[in-house]
Structure 1
Amino acid sequence: MKNNHLEKSYNVVLGAGMLVLGIIMFGFFLKDVWQLAQLLWTANLTDNFYAITRLILETFLFFEFVVLTQEYFLKNHISLENFMYIGITAMLRNLLVYHDDTIGILIQSVAIGLMILVLIAYRWSRRHLADLEHQEERTEYIFAEEHAISKKIDND
């Protein structure tokens, strides 16, 4: 009884925290969109290219975090795959903006490759585990059918 009450309280606090975090992220997203709109009319693209690009990439990151918050409220959890997708895209965007340091580019490229390999392994393992589960269900079904037929033959 106490654990059930504790679990409900934890879920309420977690939901409220996610809601506040989502509102804050959405606020930052709107702020960045507003700044981009202002830069559209006032900025000199050749002089401020890196600042504008950084702001655009930051806006996309806030957008992705808002989508993660939305996923939490719709599905009651956030999938690990989405975190990996966001990490990969964030690092790719980072490569677009900061490409002056050769060693840094190499390290980020290796990190992106490693994250892609981890994502592939994770998806393969999930698919493999699902196949094993379905194989067990199929085996149980076939076993039940065979025993039902043998019982019917024995009764006749």
Structure 2
Amino acid sequence: MNVKNKYTKLNMSHVPMILQMILNVCLVGMAAVLSALLIYETWTIFSLFFLNTDSDVSYYQFTDELLVFFLYFEFLALIIKYFEAHFHFPLRYFIYIGITAIIRLIIVDHDDAMHTFWWSLAIIALTGALFLSNARKSHGDH
């Protein structure tokens, strides 16, 4: 019975390591996909700005593409920080991504003033959370 408990404990101690490895492989795959999409988005912005002879391209379309670019960029930065911080996602990067996503939403879909107001309040709340997160971090450094 003692040998069986030792064997079970040994195998169970490997579970977090195996799951961490699976997570890391998936994140590297996601980083590759996001990198490809970031390159595609860069090409789309470049072609809208420099190669498009059609005057039908709107400011909103260009801004939308630019904000999607920054969303890809921020997700890649989040994955990089995850590995640099020894398998930890910094909270402030999620807040940056949330703020960017809401700004994109407001720019793309701003027909309803009440929805825009609520989304603006969400940005203020996220900015407050970012301030608290950074204040806690700087307070802990002293």
TM-score band by shorter chain is 0.7 to 0.9
1:38 aligns with 2:47: yes
Cα deviation code 1:60-80 (max 9, x no counterpart) = 111111111111222222101
Cα deviation code 1:69-104 (max 9, x no counterpart) = 111222222101111122123323433343332112
CA contact (8 A) 2:34 2:72 kept: yes
The within-5 A match list for 1:5-154 is 5-39=14-48, 40-45=50-55, 47-49=56-58, 50-75=60-85, 76-126=87-137, 130=140
TM-score in terms of structure 2 length? 0.78
Runs of 4 or more, structure 1, over 6 Å off, are: none
Secondary structure at 2:118 match in 1: helix
Change in 2 beyond 3 A, CA 1:63/1:127: closer
CA distance in 1, matches of 2:79, 2:19: 17
CA contact (8 A) 2:92 2:130 kept: yes
Larger Rg: 1
> Identity, % of aligned pairs?
28
Please provide the CA RMSD for this pair. 2.2
CA distance in 2, matches of 1:80, 1:13: 22
Per mean C-alpha deviation after superposition, the further-off stretch among 76-85 and 96-105 is 96-105
Gaps of 5+ in 1: 135-156
Gaps of 5+ in 2: 1-9
